[in-house]
Structure 1
Amino acid sequence: MKQPDYPKELLLLALLLAPMVYLGIIWNTLPTIIPTNFNVEGTPDRVGGKSEVLLLMIFLFFTNALLYFLFRYIPKTEGEPGPEAAIHQSEYYRIRFMIHIYLSLFTGGIIFMLSQGREIIMERWAFIGVGILIAVIGLYLKKLQPNNYVGVRTPWTLQSPAIWKETHRMAGTLWLCTGIVIILASFFLPLVTGVFVLIFVAFILAALPYIYSFRLYNTDKG
Protein backbone atom coordinates (compact mmCIF):
# COMPACT_ATOMS: atom_id res chain seq x y z
CA MET A 1 0.00 0.00 0.00
CA LYS A 2 1.30 3.46 -0.90
CA GLN A 3 2.64 5.56 1.97
CA PRO A 4 0.31 8.42 2.98
CA ASP A 5 1.11 12.00 2.08
CA TYR A 6 1.97 13.22 5.58
CA PRO A 7 1.79 17.00 4.90
CA LYS A 8 -1.74 16.53 3.55
CA GLU A 9 -2.69 14.34 6.51
CA LEU A 10 -1.36 16.97 8.93
CA LEU A 11 -3.41 19.64 7.17
CA LEU A 12 -6.53 17.49 7.47
CA LEU A 13 -5.83 16.95 11.18
CA ALA A 14 -5.39 20.70 11.61
CA LEU A 15 -8.80 21.26 9.99
CA LEU A 16 -10.23 18.62 12.31
CA LEU A 17 -8.84 20.26 15.46
CA ALA A 18 -9.22 23.94 14.49
CA PRO A 19 -12.84 24.44 15.70
CA MET A 20 -12.10 22.90 19.11
CA VAL A 21 -8.96 25.03 19.47
CA TYR A 22 -11.01 28.10 18.55
CA LEU A 23 -13.68 27.12 21.10
CA GLY A 24 -11.01 26.71 23.79
CA ILE A 25 -9.56 30.15 23.03
CA ILE A 26 -12.89 32.00 23.30
CA TRP A 27 -14.55 29.74 25.91
CA ASN A 28 -14.36 32.30 28.73
CA THR A 29 -15.94 34.98 26.53
CA LEU A 30 -19.07 32.94 25.71
CA PRO A 31 -22.29 34.05 27.42
CA THR A 32 -23.20 32.01 30.51
CA ILE A 33 -26.82 31.75 29.37
CA ILE A 34 -27.45 31.12 25.68
CA PRO A 35 -30.88 31.28 23.99
CA THR A 36 -31.48 27.99 22.19
CA ASN A 37 -35.01 28.44 20.88
CA PHE A 38 -37.13 31.40 19.77
CA ASN A 39 -40.86 31.84 19.37
CA VAL A 40 -42.60 33.34 16.35
CA GLU A 41 -42.09 36.83 17.78
CA GLY A 42 -38.33 36.34 17.87
CA THR A 43 -37.99 36.25 21.66
CA PRO A 44 -36.21 33.34 23.38
CA ASP A 45 -38.48 30.79 25.02
CA ARG A 46 -35.74 28.32 25.98
CA VAL A 47 -32.21 28.93 27.18
CA GLY A 48 -29.21 26.72 27.83
CA GLY A 49 -25.79 26.95 29.32
CA LYS A 50 -22.25 26.39 28.13
CA SER A 51 -22.64 22.66 28.74
CA GLU A 52 -25.06 22.44 25.78
CA VAL A 53 -22.61 24.28 23.58
CA LEU A 54 -19.84 21.90 24.62
CA LEU A 55 -22.01 18.83 23.98
CA LEU A 56 -22.88 20.05 20.51
CA MET A 57 -19.27 20.89 19.65
CA ILE A 58 -18.07 17.49 20.91
CA PHE A 59 -20.69 15.81 18.72
CA LEU A 60 -19.55 17.78 15.67
CA PHE A 61 -15.91 17.07 16.49
CA PHE A 62 -16.49 13.32 16.69
CA THR A 63 -18.52 13.43 13.47
CA ASN A 64 -15.53 15.06 11.76
CA ALA A 65 -13.08 12.67 13.44
CA LEU A 66 -15.11 9.62 12.38
CA LEU A 67 -15.06 10.79 8.77
CA TYR A 68 -11.31 11.38 8.98
CA PHE A 69 -10.55 7.88 10.26
CA LEU A 70 -12.98 6.22 7.86
CA PHE A 71 -11.37 7.92 4.86
CA ARG A 72 -7.84 7.52 6.24
CA TYR A 73 -7.75 3.85 7.14
CA ILE A 74 -10.48 2.02 5.21
CA PRO A 75 -9.41 2.58 1.55
CA LYS A 76 -8.24 -0.54 -0.26
CA THR A 77 -5.48 0.20 -2.77
CA GLU A 78 -3.87 -3.14 -3.58
CA GLY A 79 -3.92 -4.25 -7.18
CA GLU A 80 -4.90 -0.99 -8.85
CA PRO A 81 -2.78 0.11 -11.87
CA GLY A 82 -0.28 2.90 -11.23
CA PRO A 83 -1.66 5.75 -13.41
CA GLU A 84 -5.26 5.04 -12.41
CA ALA A 85 -4.26 4.79 -8.77
CA ALA A 86 -2.65 8.24 -8.92
CA ILE A 87 -5.80 9.76 -10.44
CA HIS A 88 -8.07 8.10 -7.90
CA GLN A 89 -5.82 9.07 -5.00
CA SER A 90 -5.85 12.72 -6.09
CA GLU A 91 -9.66 12.67 -6.28
CA TYR A 92 -9.79 10.89 -2.94
CA TYR A 93 -7.75 13.60 -1.19
CA ARG A 94 -9.81 16.33 -2.85
CA ILE A 95 -13.02 14.85 -1.46
CA ARG A 96 -11.50 14.61 2.01
CA PHE A 97 -10.36 18.22 1.92
CA MET A 98 -13.78 19.44 0.81
CA ILE A 99 -15.53 17.53 3.60
CA HIS A 100 -13.16 18.67 6.35
CA ILE A 101 -13.00 22.28 5.17
CA TYR A 102 -16.80 22.37 5.11
CA LEU A 103 -17.15 20.92 8.61
CA SER A 104 -14.38 23.09 10.02
CA LEU A 105 -15.84 26.32 8.60
CA PHE A 106 -19.38 25.34 9.53
CA THR A 107 -18.47 24.48 13.14
CA GLY A 108 -16.31 27.58 13.45
CA GLY A 109 -19.19 29.69 12.13
CA ILE A 110 -21.55 28.40 14.83
CA ILE A 111 -18.96 29.12 17.54
CA PHE A 112 -18.40 32.62 16.17
CA MET A 113 -22.11 33.45 16.11
CA LEU A 114 -22.48 32.22 19.69
CA SER A 115 -19.50 34.31 20.80
CA GLN A 116 -21.09 37.41 19.23
CA GLY A 117 -24.38 36.81 21.03
CA ARG A 118 -26.26 36.15 17.79
CA GLU A 119 -29.76 34.75 18.16
CA ILE A 120 -29.38 31.27 16.69
CA ILE A 121 -30.85 27.90 17.44
CA MET A 122 -27.51 26.11 17.52
CA GLU A 123 -28.76 22.53 17.33
CA ARG A 124 -30.93 23.40 14.34
CA TRP A 125 -27.98 24.83 12.43
CA ALA A 126 -25.78 21.89 13.42
CA PHE A 127 -28.26 19.31 12.17
CA ILE A 128 -28.93 21.31 9.00
CA GLY A 129 -25.18 21.35 8.33
CA VAL A 130 -24.86 17.60 8.81
CA GLY A 131 -27.95 17.02 6.65
CA ILE A 132 -26.54 19.13 3.81
CA LEU A 133 -23.26 17.22 3.97
CA ILE A 134 -25.02 13.83 3.83
CA ALA A 135 -27.23 14.94 0.93
CA VAL A 136 -24.26 16.24 -1.09
CA ILE A 137 -22.33 13.00 -0.49
CA GLY A 138 -25.42 11.14 -1.71
CA LEU A 139 -25.42 13.09 -4.96
CA TYR A 140 -21.72 12.31 -5.40
CA LEU A 141 -22.17 8.58 -4.71
CA LYS A 142 -24.77 8.22 -7.46
CA LYS A 143 -22.20 9.05 -10.16
CA LEU A 144 -19.08 7.60 -8.54
CA GLN A 145 -17.08 5.27 -10.80
CA PRO A 146 -15.42 2.05 -9.52
CA ASN A 147 -12.19 2.68 -7.60
CA ASN A 148 -10.28 1.37 -4.59
CA TYR A 149 -10.27 4.61 -2.60
CA VAL A 150 -13.73 5.94 -1.93
CA GLY A 151 -17.30 4.73 -2.09
CA VAL A 152 -19.04 1.52 -1.01
CA ARG A 153 -15.97 -0.67 -1.41
CA THR A 154 -17.20 -4.12 -0.42
CA PRO A 155 -15.72 -7.38 -1.80
CA TRP A 156 -18.74 -7.62 -4.09
CA THR A 157 -18.75 -4.09 -5.53
CA LEU A 158 -15.02 -4.33 -6.23
CA GLN A 159 -15.53 -7.57 -8.17
CA SER A 160 -18.36 -6.38 -10.39
CA PRO A 161 -18.85 -2.99 -12.12
CA ALA A 162 -22.57 -3.79 -12.38
CA ILE A 163 -22.90 -4.40 -8.64
CA TRP A 164 -20.84 -1.26 -7.99
CA LYS A 165 -23.16 0.85 -10.14
CA GLU A 166 -26.36 -0.54 -8.68
CA THR A 167 -25.10 -0.35 -5.08
CA HIS A 168 -23.99 3.27 -5.48
CA ARG A 169 -27.27 4.21 -7.10
CA MET A 170 -29.05 2.80 -4.06
CA ALA A 171 -26.56 4.31 -1.56
CA GLY A 172 -26.70 7.71 -3.24
CA THR A 173 -30.49 7.78 -3.07
CA LEU A 174 -30.40 6.61 0.57
CA TRP A 175 -27.88 9.28 1.61
CA LEU A 176 -29.66 12.03 -0.35
CA CYS A 177 -33.08 11.25 1.13
CA THR A 178 -31.59 10.86 4.62
CA GLY A 179 -29.89 14.24 4.34
CA ILE A 180 -33.16 15.91 3.34
CA VAL A 181 -35.01 14.22 6.23
CA ILE A 182 -32.35 15.39 8.70
CA ILE A 183 -32.66 18.96 7.42
CA LEU A 184 -36.44 18.86 7.88
CA ALA A 185 -36.16 17.14 11.28
CA SER A 186 -33.72 19.80 12.50
CA PHE A 187 -36.68 22.18 12.99
CA PHE A 188 -38.13 20.11 15.85
CA LEU A 189 -35.39 17.71 17.10
CA PRO A 190 -33.93 18.64 20.50
CA LEU A 191 -30.16 18.44 20.88
CA VAL A 192 -29.69 15.22 22.87
CA THR A 193 -32.37 13.30 20.95
CA GLY A 194 -30.91 14.52 17.66
CA VAL A 195 -27.41 13.31 18.59
CA PHE A 196 -28.67 9.78 19.29
CA VAL A 197 -30.80 9.81 16.13
CA LEU A 198 -27.77 10.78 14.03
CA ILE A 199 -25.66 8.03 15.60
CA PHE A 200 -28.36 5.50 14.62
CA VAL A 201 -28.63 7.04 11.14
CA ALA A 202 -24.85 6.76 10.65
CA PHE A 203 -25.08 3.02 11.35
CA ILE A 204 -27.92 2.62 8.84
CA LEU A 205 -26.10 4.60 6.15
CA ALA A 206 -23.06 2.35 6.52
CA ALA A 207 -24.84 -0.99 6.92
CA LEU A 208 -27.59 -0.92 4.28
CA PRO A 209 -25.34 -0.43 1.19
CA TYR A 210 -23.05 -3.21 2.46
CA ILE A 211 -25.98 -5.60 2.86
CA TYR A 212 -27.45 -4.51 -0.48
CA SER A 213 -24.22 -5.25 -2.37
CA PHE A 214 -24.05 -8.70 -0.73
CA ARG A 215 -27.63 -9.48 -1.80
CA LEU A 216 -26.92 -8.32 -5.36
CA TYR A 217 -23.89 -10.59 -5.51
CA ASN A 218 -25.86 -13.62 -4.32
CA THR A 219 -28.71 -12.82 -6.69
CA ASP A 220 -26.25 -12.74 -9.63
CA LYS A 221 -24.87 -16.08 -8.49
CA GLY A 222 -28.36 -17.52 -8.57
Structure 2
Amino acid sequence: MTKTDLRKELLLLLLFVAPLIYMGVIWRNIPDVFGQAVEPVQQQIKTKEDFLLLMIFVFFTNALMYFLFRYLPRTDDESVSDPELMHREYYKVRFVIQIFLSAIAFIVLFMVQTSHTYAMERWAFIGIGLLITGVGLYLKGLKPNNYVGVRTPWTLRDPEIWKKTHMMASSLWTAVGIVLIAGAFFMSLITGVFVIFVASFILPILPYIYSFRLANEDKG
Protein backbone atom coordinates (compact mmCIF):
# COMPACT_ATOMS: atom_id res chain seq x y z
CA MET A 1 0.00 0.00 0.00
CA THR A 2 1.02 3.64 -0.43
CA LYS A 3 2.94 4.54 2.70
CA THR A 4 1.54 7.30 4.88
CA ASP A 5 4.04 9.66 6.48
CA LEU A 6 2.13 10.95 9.52
CA ARG A 7 4.13 14.17 9.89
CA LYS A 8 3.80 15.07 6.22
CA GLU A 9 0.13 14.15 6.22
CA LEU A 10 -0.51 16.41 9.22
CA LEU A 11 1.31 19.25 7.48
CA LEU A 12 -0.84 18.74 4.37
CA LEU A 13 -3.96 18.83 6.55
CA LEU A 14 -2.71 22.02 8.20
CA LEU A 15 -2.26 23.62 4.78
CA PHE A 16 -5.79 22.48 3.93
CA VAL A 17 -7.51 23.92 7.04
CA ALA A 18 -5.40 27.10 7.45
CA PRO A 19 -7.52 29.16 5.00
CA LEU A 20 -10.67 27.93 6.77
CA ILE A 21 -9.28 29.14 10.09
CA TYR A 22 -8.33 32.47 8.51
CA MET A 23 -11.84 32.88 7.08
CA GLY A 24 -13.33 32.12 10.49
CA VAL A 25 -11.16 34.82 12.08
CA ILE A 26 -12.14 37.56 9.59
CA TRP A 27 -15.73 36.48 8.91
CA ARG A 28 -17.38 38.99 11.28
CA ASN A 29 -15.48 41.84 9.65
CA ILE A 30 -16.61 40.97 6.11
CA PRO A 31 -19.35 43.42 5.02
CA ASP A 32 -22.78 42.11 4.07
CA VAL A 33 -22.65 44.10 0.84
CA PHE A 34 -19.47 44.94 -1.05
CA GLY A 35 -18.88 48.38 -2.47
CA GLN A 36 -19.71 48.78 -6.15
CA ALA A 37 -16.62 50.63 -7.32
CA VAL A 38 -16.69 48.90 -10.70
CA GLU A 39 -19.33 48.00 -13.25
CA PRO A 40 -21.64 45.09 -12.25
CA VAL A 41 -20.60 43.13 -15.34
CA GLN A 42 -17.07 43.04 -13.94
CA GLN A 43 -17.94 42.69 -10.25
CA GLN A 44 -20.03 39.58 -9.64
CA ILE A 45 -19.30 39.22 -5.92
CA LYS A 46 -21.69 41.77 -4.42
CA THR A 47 -22.79 40.21 -1.14
CA LYS A 48 -21.43 38.10 1.69
CA GLU A 49 -23.48 35.18 0.37
CA ASP A 50 -21.85 35.48 -3.06
CA PHE A 51 -18.46 35.46 -1.40
CA LEU A 52 -19.37 32.38 0.65
CA LEU A 53 -20.37 30.55 -2.54
CA LEU A 54 -17.01 31.39 -4.11
CA MET A 55 -15.14 30.14 -1.05
CA ILE A 56 -17.19 26.91 -1.00
CA PHE A 57 -16.06 26.41 -4.60
CA VAL A 58 -12.41 27.04 -3.67
CA PHE A 59 -12.52 24.78 -0.60
CA PHE A 60 -14.35 22.04 -2.51
CA THR A 61 -11.60 22.06 -5.13
CA ASN A 62 -9.01 21.97 -2.36
CA ALA A 63 -10.71 19.00 -0.68
CA LEU A 64 -11.19 17.21 -4.00
CA MET A 65 -7.49 17.37 -4.87
CA TYR A 66 -6.51 16.28 -1.36
CA PHE A 67 -8.74 13.20 -1.41
CA LEU A 68 -7.92 12.32 -5.02
CA PHE A 69 -4.23 12.03 -4.18
CA ARG A 70 -4.79 10.61 -0.69
CA TYR A 71 -7.36 7.90 -1.29
CA LEU A 72 -7.59 6.97 -4.98
CA PRO A 73 -6.50 3.39 -5.83
CA ARG A 74 -3.49 2.41 -3.76
CA THR A 75 -1.46 -0.71 -4.48
CA ASP A 76 1.50 -2.73 -3.29
CA ASP A 77 5.01 -1.39 -3.88
CA GLU A 78 6.44 -4.59 -5.30
CA SER A 79 6.72 -3.32 -8.89
CA VAL A 80 8.48 -0.07 -7.94
CA SER A 81 12.25 -0.18 -8.43
CA ASP A 82 12.89 2.68 -5.99
CA PRO A 83 9.88 2.97 -3.64
CA GLU A 84 11.59 5.55 -1.41
CA LEU A 85 12.16 7.88 -4.37
CA MET A 86 8.56 7.49 -5.54
CA HIS A 87 7.35 8.06 -1.98
CA ARG A 88 9.16 11.41 -1.90
CA GLU A 89 7.86 12.32 -5.36
CA TYR A 90 4.32 11.46 -4.24
CA TYR A 91 4.46 13.89 -1.33
CA LYS A 92 6.27 16.55 -3.35
CA VAL A 93 3.43 16.63 -5.89
CA ARG A 94 0.83 16.75 -3.14
CA PHE A 95 2.63 19.59 -1.32
CA VAL A 96 2.89 21.69 -4.50
CA ILE A 97 -0.83 21.24 -5.20
CA GLN A 98 -1.88 21.92 -1.60
CA ILE A 99 0.29 25.03 -1.27
CA PHE A 100 -1.04 26.38 -4.58
CA LEU A 101 -4.68 25.86 -3.61
CA SER A 102 -4.21 27.27 -0.12
CA ALA A 103 -2.46 30.29 -1.63
CA ILE A 104 -5.47 30.93 -3.89
CA ALA A 105 -7.80 30.80 -0.87
CA PHE A 106 -5.58 33.12 1.16
CA ILE A 107 -5.32 35.63 -1.71
CA VAL A 108 -9.10 35.79 -2.14
CA LEU A 109 -9.60 36.13 1.62
CA PHE A 110 -6.97 38.86 1.82
CA MET A 111 -8.64 40.73 -1.05
CA VAL A 112 -11.91 40.75 0.91
CA GLN A 113 -10.24 41.69 4.18
CA THR A 114 -8.53 44.68 2.55
CA SER A 115 -11.65 45.65 0.51
CA HIS A 116 -9.93 44.89 -2.82
CA THR A 117 -12.78 42.77 -4.14
CA TYR A 118 -12.38 43.57 -7.85
CA ALA A 119 -13.21 40.47 -9.95
CA MET A 120 -11.87 38.10 -7.31
CA GLU A 121 -13.95 35.22 -8.70
CA ARG A 122 -12.01 35.66 -11.95
CA TRP A 123 -8.68 35.22 -10.18
CA ALA A 124 -9.98 32.16 -8.34
CA PHE A 125 -11.10 30.52 -11.60
CA ILE A 126 -7.80 31.36 -13.30
CA GLY A 127 -5.84 29.92 -10.38
CA ILE A 128 -7.80 26.66 -10.39
CA GLY A 129 -7.48 26.49 -14.17
CA LEU A 130 -3.71 26.92 -13.97
CA LEU A 131 -3.49 24.13 -11.41
CA ILE A 132 -5.56 21.72 -13.53
CA THR A 133 -3.48 22.59 -16.60
CA GLY A 134 -0.28 22.03 -14.63
CA VAL A 135 -1.44 18.61 -13.45
CA GLY A 136 -2.35 17.75 -17.05
CA LEU A 137 1.12 18.65 -18.32
CA TYR A 138 2.68 16.68 -15.45
CA LEU A 139 0.69 13.53 -16.31
CA LYS A 140 1.95 13.46 -19.90
CA GLY A 141 5.44 12.22 -19.11
CA LEU A 142 4.66 10.34 -15.91
CA LYS A 143 6.31 6.92 -15.67
CA PRO A 144 4.46 3.88 -14.27
CA ASN A 145 4.37 3.92 -10.46
CA ASN A 146 2.05 3.05 -7.59
CA TYR A 147 1.87 6.53 -6.06
CA VAL A 148 0.88 9.23 -8.55
CA GLY A 149 -1.21 9.15 -11.72
CA VAL A 150 -4.10 7.12 -13.10
CA ARG A 151 -3.50 4.00 -11.03
CA THR A 152 -6.05 1.47 -12.22
CA PRO A 153 -5.57 -2.32 -12.30
CA TRP A 154 -5.13 -2.09 -16.08
CA THR A 155 -2.59 0.76 -16.20
CA LEU A 156 -0.50 -0.88 -13.48
CA ARG A 157 -0.55 -4.21 -15.29
CA ASP A 158 0.39 -2.96 -18.76
CA PRO A 159 2.95 -0.18 -19.46
CA GLU A 160 1.37 0.50 -22.86
CA ILE A 161 -2.06 1.04 -21.31
CA TRP A 162 -0.40 3.30 -18.71
CA LYS A 163 1.18 5.38 -21.48
CA LYS A 164 -1.98 5.70 -23.58
CA THR A 165 -4.18 6.42 -20.57
CA HIS A 166 -1.87 9.15 -19.29
CA MET A 167 -1.65 10.74 -22.73
CA MET A 168 -5.45 10.85 -22.77
CA ALA A 169 -5.65 12.10 -19.16
CA SER A 170 -3.03 14.76 -19.90
CA SER A 171 -5.02 16.07 -22.86
CA LEU A 172 -8.26 16.01 -20.86
CA TRP A 173 -6.89 17.82 -17.78
CA THR A 174 -5.01 20.36 -19.90
CA ALA A 175 -8.07 21.10 -22.03
CA VAL A 176 -10.34 21.52 -18.99
CA GLY A 177 -7.79 23.79 -17.34
CA ILE A 178 -7.48 26.00 -20.43
CA VAL A 179 -11.27 26.19 -20.78
CA LEU A 180 -11.56 27.29 -17.15
CA ILE A 181 -8.85 29.94 -17.58
CA ALA A 182 -10.48 31.29 -20.73
CA GLY A 183 -13.95 31.07 -19.22
CA ALA A 184 -12.87 33.07 -16.17
CA PHE A 185 -13.13 36.24 -18.27
CA PHE A 186 -16.81 35.82 -19.13
CA MET A 187 -18.36 33.06 -16.96
CA SER A 188 -20.72 34.03 -14.18
CA LEU A 189 -19.96 32.85 -10.65
CA ILE A 190 -22.72 30.21 -10.79
CA THR A 191 -21.56 28.96 -14.19
CA GLY A 192 -17.96 28.70 -13.00
CA VAL A 193 -18.98 26.73 -9.91
CA PHE A 194 -21.11 24.41 -12.07
CA VAL A 195 -18.21 23.84 -14.49
CA ILE A 196 -15.79 22.90 -11.71
CA PHE A 197 -18.32 20.49 -10.15
CA VAL A 198 -18.80 18.76 -13.51
CA ALA A 199 -15.03 18.71 -14.08
CA SER A 200 -14.50 17.14 -10.66
CA PHE A 201 -16.40 14.09 -11.88
CA ILE A 202 -15.13 13.74 -15.43
CA LEU A 203 -11.41 14.34 -14.70
CA PRO A 204 -10.92 11.18 -12.61
CA ILE A 205 -13.69 9.03 -14.14
CA LEU A 206 -13.00 9.31 -17.89
CA PRO A 207 -9.34 8.16 -17.68
CA TYR A 208 -10.48 5.23 -15.51
CA ILE A 209 -13.07 4.21 -18.12
CA TYR A 210 -10.56 4.74 -20.92
CA SER A 211 -8.00 2.40 -19.31
CA PHE A 212 -10.72 -0.24 -18.85
CA ARG A 213 -11.70 0.02 -22.53
CA LEU A 214 -8.07 -0.29 -23.62
CA ALA A 215 -7.66 -3.42 -21.54
CA ASN A 216 -10.82 -4.98 -22.99
CA GLU A 217 -10.80 -3.73 -26.58
CA ASP A 218 -9.80 -7.15 -27.90
CA LYS A 219 -12.95 -8.56 -26.28
CA GLY A 220 -15.19 -6.17 -28.17
TM over 0.5: yes
CA RMSD of aligned residues (A): 2.3
Between the aligned partners of 1:7 and 1:208, the Cα distance in structure 2 is: 33
Q: Distance in 2 between matches of 1:114 and 1:196?
A: 23
Describe the shift of the 1:46–1:62 C-alpha distance in structure 2 as closer, same or farther (beyond 3 A): closer
- Aligned ranges for residues 1-222 of structure 1 at < 5 Å? 1=1, 3-34=3-34, 38-39=38-39, 48-80=46-78, 84-219=82-217
Identity of aligned residues (%): 53
Give the letter for the 2:125 counterpart: F
TM-score for both structures, normalised by structure 1 = 0.90
For 2:162, give the aligned amino acid: W
The worse-fitting range, judged by mean Cα deviation, of 134-143 and 208-217 is 208-217
- 1:210 Cα deviation (Å)? 1.1
Q: Structure 1, residues 79-99: CA drift from partner, whole Å, max 9, x if none? A: 425762111111000000000
Return the offset for 1:109.
Answer: 0.7
The 1:176–1:21 alpha-carbon spacing in structure 2 relative to 1, beyond 3 Å, is same
Taking structure 2 as the reference length, the TM-score comes to 0.91
Change in 2 beyond 3 A, CA 1:161/1:196: same
Aligned equivalents of 2:67, 2:31: Cα separation in 1: 33
Query: 8 Å contact 2:111–2:120 — kept in the other structure?
Result: no
Answer 1 or 2: which has greater strand percent. 1
Taking a change above 3 Å as real, the CA distance of residues 159 and 138 of structure 1, as seen in their structure-2 partners, is same
Say if 1:35 and 1:47, in contact at 8 Å, map to a contact too. no
Runs of 4+ off more than 4 Å: 42-47
Q: 1:82-124 CA distances to partner (integer Å, 9 max, x unpaired)? A: 7621111110000000000011111101110111111421221
Are the equivalent residues in 2 in contact too, given 1:31–1:115 (CA < 8 A)? Answer: no
Q: Distance in 1 between matches of 2:41 and 2:211?
A: 50
1-structure distance, mates of 2:97, 2:130: 11
Change (3 A) 1:14 1:47: closer
**Structure 1: stretches of 5+ with no match in the other structure:** none
- Give per-residue Cα distances to partners, 1:29-71, cap 9 Å, x unaligned: 22332258944xx997656111111121122112111221221
Number of equivalenced pairs:
220
Separation of aligned partners in 2, 1:63 and 1:127 = 11
Helix, strand or coil: the match of 2:82?
helix
Q: 1:45 to 1:171 in 2, by over 3 A?
A: closer
**Code of the aligned partner of 1:143:** G
**Quick one: structure 1 residues 16 and 203, their matched pair in 2 at CA, closer, same or farther if it must change by over 3 Å?**
same
Letter aligned with residue 138 of structure 1: G
The 1-side partners of 2:45 and 2:100 are apart by: 28
> What is the distance in 2 between the residues matched to 1:13 and 1:53?
23
